[in-house]
């Protein structure tokens, strides 16, 4: 067997970092369909998996890829797919199945210009709301957004850990600009990488109810072939996993699927705050836009402007408690993003009128520069 | 006097009896098909813990919930890729997909041909009732030319798939067709398929008195079953290009294709790994 964790210092593209992060996290099943700008993930995994005993399949489309990783995860193997907008759209129905069946899987979406075929080779952040709301019905999901190749590696591991812990499809919301830029990636020794595995039933098969949650609202997961006679369905179901299409069952199940994430929001949400102690203006950013955003904040500080930065590492569930807290201190939230206003809407909602929220939109195609964000900060100060 | 009933049905140990009654209509062919599958599992002696039943959406799709084996009721059309992932991730399991003709050949048709082509190690049983049962009798990709459905009220102008031919052409290693009234032959055919590796396909023609029969000159609950009984001709090894179903003509049944020696996707994958390690 080859080495799974390539401990050391590397110079990697974001896509390679994602693939290596997945392998380090214990992913041993990958299903995908080629698409720019995500294909290098599949290419790299197709080369690496035979060395580490993983199974790589290039499927006929993203519908199949998404369904296949759900199946593989039910067989007890950590599983992932990677795509970009058009493929992400095709995955939506089965992401919903993953939510309903509570399957730990990781979906990488390397965002590119959209709608439709859009700008295949250029960056964007247009799929943020789709990641949250793309499948039908109401559910909570987890999505993390890396700012660099290093974080692409680290957050891919965290995606697997969160997926396993909360039994929910978890999305790495990357973008072309992170995945096609190279940077230093430090891979720690294997024993220093925290790896989480889904909790298993502690009762014998005749007492096991596949959808009976513990106090944390997460049910222990038996896998296929372990003798638990699992019943699972995308239909609304009871704790036995039997279809129960009554309003009462629907109320109970949908509430739990949402609450199991909401009740752990503070544990799941990770943000990075800079210069916030005395900040009057907060720049809220995520993904690669965070790098120019942080630079712009520094430029403002050099000019004596009390600006700070809040970087959302976890995009979903939304860091509402964080925004609500800072809304009491700052006068303005400045939100630069590569779309026409998505996270901006969340920030505005949570600011509850306590602070004014200003969008700095770019439709995608290129990154926002530090100067452009700084210019917006200056405009706000001038008010 | 208190009566105790010790006479369990021979397949009771495979059933989630507390889930009975099932949802299927009287005269439906889904139940007998699943029955034949379970008897074949018994016959071949497959351990219950290793049996996995994956289904899509439709009347037939509901079957996975009634058996005391690991059952996965997935999304419409995606039973095959779900099962491919599951089986590759745990090759010890005996994975069967049992689903409807709409599920497997309309919305899921692409997955079917690609799984055949790759020779994924799966048994796929299609309960072909010529119609969309669950949603109330709409046109299926198997509805005979001229057949009536709620979305072809003036007769079907399309041409149905000859599914054994499709499977054969795409490379399935085992291809057969039976009907749900040929319970004995069906059981033996499933048993034969269960003993093989690779992509194995069995089409089971099945009465749907409610949604196909009553709109298509089979008004009585047992009329479709009688049609199968009267029109069937058994021709093992028949040329699959000649077994298309045409109302009014004989229905050709039999074990059509058995290809030996074609390695499965998984076997080739492991070989590749071996090669990579030696280098
Ligand atoms: C994506 C999607 N489209 C449509 C449906 C609605 N639908 C449910 S079952 C079905 C057809 C089932 O027909 P078939 O597969 O032949 O199974 P049968 O009910 O006849 O056993 C359809 C169209 C769905 N569930 N999902
Ligand atoms: S509608 Fe047709 S396929 Fe569905 S249960 Fe009734 S008879 Fe069977």
Residue ending a domain, among A158, A192, A226, is A192
CA–CA dist A243, A253 (Å, integer): 11
Q: Which domain holds residue A74?
A: 8-192
What is the reported pLDDT for B8?
77
| CATH code of residue B115 | 3.40.50.970
Q: Are residue A286 and residue A177 in the same domain, yes or no?
A: no
> Residues of B with CB below 8 A from A77's CB?
89-90
Local confidence pLDDT in tens for the 383 residues of chain A:
789 999 999 999 999 999 999 999 999 999 999 999 999 999 999 999 999 999 999 999 999 999 999 999 999 999 999 999 999 999 999 999 999 999 999 999 999 999 999 999 999 999 999 999 999 999 999 999 999 999 999 999 999 999 999 999 999 999 999 999 999 999 999 999 999 999 999 999 999 999 999 999 999 999 999 999 999 999 999 999 999 999 999 999 999 999 999 999 999 999 999 999 999 999 999 999 999 999 999 999 999 999 999 999 999 999 999 999 999 999 999 999 999 999 999 999 999 999 999 999 999 999 999 999 999 999 998 87
Does the reported pTM lie above 0.80?
yes
Q: A359 lies in a domain?
A: yes
Contact A123, A338 (CB under 8 A): yes
Tell me the ligand closest to B128's alpha carbon. Answer: 1
CA–CA dist B217, A146 (Å, integer): 62
Of A71, A226, A243, Cβ closest to residue B82: A71
Angle of CA points A166, A167, A173, to nearest 5°? 80
Of B85, B92, B276, Cβ closest to residue A70: B85
Interval between CA B220 and ligand 2 midpoint (Å): 14
| Cβ(B101) – ligand 1 distance below 6 Å | yes
Q: CB under 6 Å to ligand 2: residues?
A: B 24-25, 28, 30, 59, 129, 133, 208-211
Instruction: Determine the residue among A30, A32, A67 to mutate to test chain B binding: the one whose Cβ has the most chain B Cβ atoms within 10 Å.
Output: A67
Give tens-digit pLDDT for B22-54: 999 999 999 999 999 999 999 999 999 999 999
Query: A246: exposed, middle or buried (C-beta count within 10 Å: 0-12, 13-18, 19+)?
Result: exposed
Q: B158 lies in a domain?
A: yes
CA–CA dist A82, A161 (Å, integer): 17
Query: How many residues in chain B?
Result: 279
Q: Are residue A168 and residue A304 in the same domain, yes or no?
A: no
Pocket perturbation via mutation, ligand 2, pick of B28, B127, B205 by most ligand atoms within 8 A of CB: B28
| CATH code of residue A293 | 3.40.50.920
The tokens for B85 are 């992932």
Interval between CA B141 and ligand 1 midpoint (Å): 12
**Are B73 and A233 a contacting pair at CB < 8 A?**
yes
The tokens for B13 are 């140990």
> Residues of A with CB below 8 A from B57's CB?
234
Interface predicted TM-score (ipTM):
0.97
| CATH code of residue A72 | 3.40.50.970
**Are B276 and A232 a contacting pair at CB < 8 A?**
no
CA–CA dist B150, B147 (Å, integer): 10
In chain A, residues 29-58 whose CB comes closer than 8 Å to chain B: 29, 31, 50-51, 53, 55, 57
> Residues of A with CB below 8 A from B69's CB?
229
Q: B111 lies in a domain?
A: yes
Q: CB under 8 Å to B32, separation ≥6 — which residues? A: B180, B181, B183, B206
CA–CA dist A158, B174 (Å, integer): 44
Q: Are residue A28 and residue A165 in the same domain, yes or no?
A: yes
Pocket perturbation via mutation, ligand 1, pick of B56, B74, B135, B161 by most ligand atoms within 8 A of CB: B135
CA–CA dist A275, A308 (Å, integer): 5
Q: Which domain holds residue B167?
A: 39-278
**Are B89 and A235 a contacting pair at CB < 8 A?**
no
What are the distances in angstroms from CA B253 to CA A304, B31, B224, B234?
85, 20, 16, 5
Number of compact structural domains in chain B: 1
**DSSP for A274-336, written as a single string:** ES-TT-SEEEEEEGGGHHHHHHHHHHHHHTT--EEEEEESEEES--HHHHHHHHTT-SEEEEE
Q: Are residue A301 and residue A175 in the same domain, yes or no?
A: no
Give tens-digit pLDDT for B163-210: 999 999 999 999 999 999 999 999 999 999 999 999 999 999 999 999
Q: B13 lies in a domain?
A: no
What is the reported pLDDT for B3?
53
Angle of CA points A124, A125, A126, to nearest 5°? 95
What is the reported pLDDT for B278?
82
Q: B148 lies in a domain?
A: yes
> Residues of A with CB below 8 A from B77's CB?
63
**Burial letters for B144-170: b for 16+ Cβ neighbours within 10 Å, e otherwise?**
beebbbeebeeebeeebbbbbbbbbeb
Composition of chain A by helix, strand, coil, percent to 5: 40, 20, 40
Q: Is the pLDDT of residue B1 over 50?
A: no
**Are B88 and A55 a contacting pair at CB < 8 A?**
yes
Number of compact structural domains in chain A: 2
Of B73, B82, B93, Cβ closest to residue A67: B82
In 10 A of CB B219, how many CB atoms? 10
| Pairing label, strands A182-187, A8-13 | antiparallel
Q: Are residue A32 and residue A170 in the same domain, yes or no?
A: yes
What is the reported pLDDT for B5?
56
Q: B231 lies in a domain?
A: yes
Contact A127, A312 (CB under 8 A): no
Q: B31 lies in a domain?
A: no
The tokens for A217 are 């609202």
Q: B34 lies in a domain?
A: no
Q: Is the pLDDT of residue B7 over 70?
A: no
CA distance B277 to chain A (A): 7
């Amino acid at each position: 067997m080859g080495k799974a964790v390539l401990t050391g210092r590397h110079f990697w593209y974001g896509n390679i970092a994602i693939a290596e992060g997945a392998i380090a996290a214990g992913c041993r099943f990958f299903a995908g369909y080629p698409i720019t700008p995500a294909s290098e993930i599949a290419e790299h995994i197709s080369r690496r998996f035979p060395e580490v005993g993983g199974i790589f399949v290039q499927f006929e489309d993203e519908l199949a890829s998404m369904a296949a990783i759900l199946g593989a995860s039910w067989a007890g193997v950590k599983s992932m797919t990677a795509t970009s907008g058009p493929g992400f759209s095709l995955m939506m129905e089965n992401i919903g199945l993953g939510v309903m069946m509570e399957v730990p899987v990781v979906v990488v979406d390397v965002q590119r210009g959209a709608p439709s075929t859009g700008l295949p080779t250029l960056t964007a952040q247009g799929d943020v709301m789709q990641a949250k709301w793309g499948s039908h019905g109401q559910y909570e999901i987890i999505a993390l957004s890396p700012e660099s190749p290093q974080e692409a590696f680290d957050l891919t591991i965290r995606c697997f850990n969160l997926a396993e812990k909360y039994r929910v499809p978890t999305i790495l919301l990357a973008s072309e600009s992170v995945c096609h830029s190279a940077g230093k990636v430090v891979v720690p020794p294997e024993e220093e990488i925290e790896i989480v595995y889904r909790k298993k039933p502690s009762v014998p098969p005749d007492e096991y109810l596949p959808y009976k949650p513990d106090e944390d609202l997460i049910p222990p997961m038996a896998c296929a072939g372990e003798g638990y006679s699992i019943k699972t369905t995308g239909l609304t179901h009871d704790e036995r996993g039997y279809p129960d299409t009554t309003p009462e069952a629907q109320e109970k199940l949908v509430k739990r699927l949402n609450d199991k994430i909401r009740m752990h929001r503070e544990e799941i949400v990770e943000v990075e705050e800079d210069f916030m102690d005395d900040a009057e203006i907060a720049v809220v950013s995520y993904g690669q836009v965070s790098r120019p955003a942080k630079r712009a904040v520094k430029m403002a500080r050099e000019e004596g402007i009390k600006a700070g930065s809040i970087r959302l590492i976890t995009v979903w569930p939304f860091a509402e408690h964080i925004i609500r807290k800072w809304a009491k201190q700052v006068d303005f939230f400045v939100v630069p993003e590569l779309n026409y206003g998505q996270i901006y809407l969340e920030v505005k909602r949570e600011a509850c009128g306590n602070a004014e929220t200003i969008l700095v939109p770019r439709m995608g195609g290129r990154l926002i520069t530090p100067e452009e964000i700084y210019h917006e900060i200056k405009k706000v100060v001038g008010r | 006097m208190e009566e105790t009933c010790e006479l369990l049905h021979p397949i009771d140990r495979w059933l989630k009896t507390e889930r009975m009654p099932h949802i299927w209509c009287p005269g439906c062919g889904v139940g007998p098909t699943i029955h034949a599958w379970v008897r074949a599992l018994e016959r071949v002696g497959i351990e219950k813990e290793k049996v996995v039943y994956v289904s899509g959406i439709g009347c037939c799709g509901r079957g996975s919930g009634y058996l005391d084996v690991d059952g996965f009721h997935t999304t419409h059309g995606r039973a095959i890729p779900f099962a491919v992932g599951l089986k590759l991730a745990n090759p010890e399991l005996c994975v069967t997909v049992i689903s409807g003709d709409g599920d497997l050949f309309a919305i899921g048709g692409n997955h079917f041909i690609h799984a055949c082509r790759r020779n994924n190690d799966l048994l796929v049983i299609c309960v072909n009732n010529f119609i969309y049962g669950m949603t109330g009798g709409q046109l299926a990709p198997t509805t005979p030319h001229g057949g009536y459905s709620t979305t072809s009220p003036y007769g079907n102008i399309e041409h149905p798939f000859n599914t054994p031919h499709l499977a054969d052409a795409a490379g399935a290693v085992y291809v057969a067709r039976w009907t749900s009234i040929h319970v004995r032959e069906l059981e033996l055919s499933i048993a034969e398929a269960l003993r093989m590796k690779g992509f194995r396909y069995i089409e089971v023609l099945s009465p749907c008195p409610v949604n196909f029969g009553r709109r298509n000159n089979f008004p009585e609950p047992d009329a479709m079953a009688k049609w199968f009984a009267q029109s069937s001709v058994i021709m093992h090894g028949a040329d699959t290009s000649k077994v298309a179903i045409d109302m009014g003509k004989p229905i050709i049944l039999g074990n059509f294709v058995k290809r030996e020696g074609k390695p499965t996707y998984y076997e080739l994958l492991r070989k590749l790994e071996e090669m990579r390690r030696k280098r």
